[in-house]
Structure 1
């Protein structure tokens, strides 16, 4: 009903809809072009969205999705079931290896951390749910980061979900591919013993 519309809310949602794209960062000019809004209007909307972490502004001045949409999406029932299935495995994997364990989802040309258990070591790979990166390799969504290594193993889950990968990452001075494979094999075996609820 027209009388129930809140124009400012609808404008903010229109801005968020732009991020439903393979492009993960947008300049103010690109957002203005996509929404048809004046830059002054966009700056006010983006300021509010940034305050609640729906968008984030990088040092380059470009905007990307913040962590709030991911946090809300994690409360969706299939994701809660996924968390109950995977999170204990990630915690065991991180504790046994001393490295950062994560569940990564691949959609198109991007990977996104869905769940993570971060190592207690002061020298570690900081990986949090909601972080995204471009997939550079056809066979693996491994994140190439300075001084580090990420080893990925694909797992199987519900057919309606994008491909999911179990990953182990840390400094390359400590974590080798062979060592990561040994830990990941143990974790994958445990996942098979504890099938996901469908």
Structure 2
């Protein structure tokens, strides 16, 4: 109904809809062209969205999605089911290996940390859910880790679903690559034996 509409809210949602795109970042001019709003109006809307971490402005001046959409998306039933299955395994991996255990997901040109378990040690790879980093090869999710290393293992997933990996990361040389790969393989074997009514882990 017309009387239920709040123009400022609808404008902010219109801005967020622009980010539903293969592009990861937008200039103010890009957003103005996509929405038809004046730049002054956009700056006010983006300022409010940024305060609640729905968008972020990078050092290059471009606007990207913030962490709040990712946080809310995890409330979606499939994401909750995924977390219920994977998080306990990540917790066990981190406890047994002393390294950061994570579930990673591919996006065009970058990788996102979906879930993570941190080891009880100060010297560790401090990943957070929602963290993203660029990659040049879609089958290699490793970020640049000066002084660190990451072992990863691809998981079976549906044909239309994005690639997923389990990973263990931390200071280079603290653990043998063989041990970490074995731990990942054991965890993947558990994940890839779903109930009979499930075809994928997502």
What TM-score bracket applies, with the shorter chain setting the length?
0.7 to 0.9
Q: Secondary structure at the match of 2:121?
A: coil
CA distance in 1, matches of 2:197, 2:111: 24
CA distance in 2, matches of 1:196, 1:41: 52
Against the structure 1 CA distance between its residues 122 and 195, is the aligned structure 2 distance closer, same or farther, given a 3 Å change threshold?
A: farther
Alpha-carbon contact 2:155-2:192 (below 8 Å) kept = no
Structure 2 equivalent of residue 4 of structure 1: 4
When the two structures are aligned, how many residues end up with a matched partner?
198
Aligned counterparts, 1:4-153, within 5 A: 4-153=4-153
CA distance in 2, matches of 1:50, 1:37: 18
Q: Deviations over 1:133-187 (max 9, x none)?
A: 2232243222223222222211124555322211111122424533321221222
1:76 is displaced (CA, Å) by 0.6
CA distance in 2, matches of 1:176, 1:108: 31
1:70 is displaced (CA, Å) by 0.7
Q: Secondary structure at the match of 1:150?
A: strand
1:119 is displaced (CA, Å) by 2.2
Against the structure 1 CA distance between its residues 154 and 82, is the aligned structure 2 distance closer, same or farther, given a 3 Å change threshold?
A: same
CA distance in 2, matches of 1:58, 1:131: 14
Gaps of 5+ in 2: none
CA distance in 1, matches of 2:18, 2:176: 40
Q: Secondary structure at the match of 1:45?
A: helix
Alpha-carbon contact 2:91-2:101 (below 8 Å) kept = yes
User: Does 90-99 or 112-121 show the bigger shift?
Assistant: 112-121
Against the structure 1 CA distance between its residues 101 and 197, is the aligned structure 2 distance closer, same or farther, given a 3 Å change threshold?
A: farther
Structure 2 equivalent of residue 178 of structure 1: 178
CA RMSD of aligned residues (A): 2.2
Question: Is 1:167–2:167 an aligned residue pair?
Answer: yes
Against the structure 1 CA distance between its residues 66 and 111, is the aligned structure 2 distance closer, same or farther, given a 3 Å change threshold?
A: same
CA distance in 1, matches of 2:66, 2:42: 16
TM-score normalised per structure 1: 0.88
